[in-house]
Amino acid sequence: MAIIPLKAWYVPHYEPLRSLVQRPHDLRLAKNSLLKSALRADFLDESAAVQDSEWFQRYLAGEVVEFYVEGSGSYAIANIDLISHEIYFTKIEMLSSLEPTIYFSHQVQRPETSQTIHQALIEATSQLNSQSRLPLTLVLAPRSTTEPLKLRSSAMTHLRKCLLFVADVSTVGNLLSPQVCVEVGYALYCKRAEQVLLIDPTADAGEGFPFDVPPSQRLWSRSPQELHRQLPEAIARCLERFHLFHSQR
């Protein structure tokens, strides 16, 4: 039976899938077996080339080495045998499916507050892009006065695929914006805690909070000027695991 080689790309750090697959692949594989959480394959490259590769040296040093395997998703190397050409992978979270975007969930009930946060986000994104290896794009959540917010919508797809979700959670009286509530709930469900940043420029740090998030994912400010100072550092902290910024590398 003819061997159908699969392409595999070494992923040293976060890179969107659309750009990842545009560069030359790093390994050719012949799949032996595929399980829900693992993959066993033969590598078709020369052992000497594999042994000299950057990713193999990282594997020998005990680091987690990630590959995107064509048509199968993201895997970390569990074991490799240079003599038999066998390689074993375990399934991991696929970061490459995320887009380099910041999704801002804003309010229509308190437009002045959301406008302050939006302007600070524009400036923070511009500042961070001067240090980033990938340009970040700010996406503003669509708002409709007639259509209900649906989980199966392009807006929720953007939210699910963003690197960072930011929401204005300031209250009107004691009530939160219903659109923001839905989006925050969905973000807390589908994203890691550090990918969510909730901002309330009207609250004090000691006040109660309606969402169960770590203090590091909440941001208060006494003035627009303070928010502008705080936001770039807060975003960089939230995105630290993606190693986007030169100071984090």
Domain closes at, from 48, 75, 95? 95
Q: Which residues 6+ apart lie within 8 Å of 113 measured at CB?
A: 107, 168, 170, 201, 202
Shared domain for 79 and 156, answered yes or no, is no
Dist CA 159 CA 184 (whole Å): 10
Sign of the dihedral through C-alpha 233, 122, 240, 141: positive
Domain that residue 57 falls in: 6-95
Shared domain for 45 and 140, answered yes or no, is no
Whole-prediction pTM:
0.87
Residue 207: pLDDT band with limits 50, 70, 90 = low
Give which of 132, 91, 111 is closest to 248, Cα–Cα: 132
The H or E element that residue 199 is part of is strand 196-200
Shared domain for 125 and 69, answered yes or no, is no
Least confident piece of the model among 72-76, 104-108, 115-119, 150-154: 150-154
Number of domains in the chain: 2
CATH code of the domain covering residue 107: 3.40.50.450
pLDDT, tens digit, 9 for 90 and up, residues 82-94: 999 999 999 999 8
Shared domain for 73 and 111, answered yes or no, is no
pLDDT, tens digit, 9 for 90 and up, residues 130-170: 999 999 999 999 987 666 666 667 778 999 999 999 999 98
In a domain, 59, yes or no: yes
pLDDT, tens digit, 9 for 90 and up, residues 12-48: 999 999 999 999 999 999 988 877 789 999 999 999 9
Domain closes at, from 45, 60, 95? 95
Shared domain for 84 and 105, answered yes or no, is no
